[in-house]
């Protein structure tokens, strides 16, 4: 049986060596854990240039395999600025404004996901719902195309606005990014809160796109002091994995 891997997790690893860089990635991972919609949501890791790193997957459209290695471009999210869309990341390459908004939403949801206590059943459920909210950004039908159908309450908690929901994780994230005026620079190493995007190169469809998130430094903007008011000291980041099995 072949496995298609959708990997989710978050890292306490800060990649700040440059705005764009080439890295080597190998997917690694522990045994299966909690799942939602037929995909696992337990911790998953990747080796990035030999460093064990937790990663979050924003891509429901491609496949990844445990043990697979590939070259990737590492892009500091804060570089997604200006009037021209970046081609170093996988999605929204034809529309700069949409690209910047969508990756800001991804980052907002990733920060939210980091705070989930997945040692509890409720936490595992919330993390699964946030996972689908993230996937819905670039694949709006992700929550409707899971191997096992999601329940009505799960779909409502995911909150895809394109499905008519006016609450839930995705809806709320989009509203917050708009209301607070968040941009990729709010999730940049330059502001102390670093999001790095790992995109396969030269073939961006070779595997899924992944994101790592680091804890903010004490100098992080006051904006995040409000948004992350529940955090004290270091953020304990939780790793998750999703593996979809196909025969």
The tens digit of pLDDT for each residue in 172-188 reads: 999 999 999 999 988 87
Residues 6+ apart with CB under 8 A from 182: 104, 108, 176, 223
pLDDT at 214: 80
Whether residue 101 has pLDDT greater than 90: yes
pLDDT per residue over 45-60, tens digit each? 899 999 998 888 899 8
**What's the pLDDT score for residue 55?**
85
Lowest pLDDT segment from 35-44, 106-115, 120-129, 140-149: 35-44
Terminal CA-CA length for the chain: 5
Residues 6+ apart with CB under 8 A from 146: 36, 37, 38, 39, 132
- pTM score of the predicted model: 0.78
| pLDDT for the residue 48 | 95
Distance CA 83, CA 226 (A): 29
Across residues 232-238, what is the average pLDDT?
A: 33
Could you give the number of structural domains in the chain? 1
pLDDT at position 90 is 97
Which residues form the domain of 229? 2-246
What is the pLDDT confidence band of residue 76, given thresholds at 50, 70 and 90? Answer: very high
Residue with the bigger pLDDT between 189 and 146: it is 146
List phi, psi (to 5°) of 97.
-65, -45
Q: What is the pLDDT of residue 215?
A: 67
Mean pLDDT, range 112-126, rounded to an integer: 86
pLDDT for res 191? 63
Q: What is the DSSP string of 161-177?
A: GGGT-SSSHHHHHHHHH
Position 241 scores a pLDDT of 36
How large a percentage of the chain has pLDDT more than 70?
74
The pLDDT tens digits of the residues spanning 186-231 come to 887 656 668 899 999 999 999 999 988 886 555 444 444 434 443 3
Q: How many CA atoms lie within 13 A of 138 on its CB side?
A: 24
């Amino acid at each position: 049986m072949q496995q298609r891997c959708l990997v989710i997790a978050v890292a306490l690893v800060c990649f700040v060596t440059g705005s764009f860089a080439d890295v080597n990635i190998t997917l690694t991972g522990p045994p299966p854990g909690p799942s939602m919609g037929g995909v696992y949501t337990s911790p998953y890791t990747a080796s990035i240039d030999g460093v064990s790193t937790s990663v979050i997957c924003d891509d429901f459209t491609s496949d990844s395999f445990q043990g697979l290695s590939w070259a990737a471009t590492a892009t500091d999210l804060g570089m997604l600025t200006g009037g021209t869309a970046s081609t170093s990341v996988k999605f929204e390459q034809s529309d700069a404004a949409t690209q910047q908004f969508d990756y800001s939403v991804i980052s907002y949801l990733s920060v939210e996901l980091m705070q989930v206590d997945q040692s509890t059943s409720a936490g595992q459920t919330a993390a699964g719902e946030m996972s689908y909210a993230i996937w819905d950004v670039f694949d709006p039908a992700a929550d409707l195309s899971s191997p096992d159908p999601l329940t009505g309450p799960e779909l409502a908690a995911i909150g895809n606005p394109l499905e008519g929901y006016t609450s839930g994780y995705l809806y709320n994230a989009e509203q917050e990014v708009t209301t607070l005026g968040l941009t990729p620079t709010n999730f940049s190493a330059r502001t102390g809160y670093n999001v790095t995007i790992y995109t396969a190169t030269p073939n961006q469809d070779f595997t899924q796109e992944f994101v790592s998130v680091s804890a903010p430094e004490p100098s992080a903007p006051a904006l995040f002091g409000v948004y992350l008011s529940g955090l004290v000291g270091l953020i304990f980041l939780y790793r998750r994995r999703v593996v979809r099995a196909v025969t």
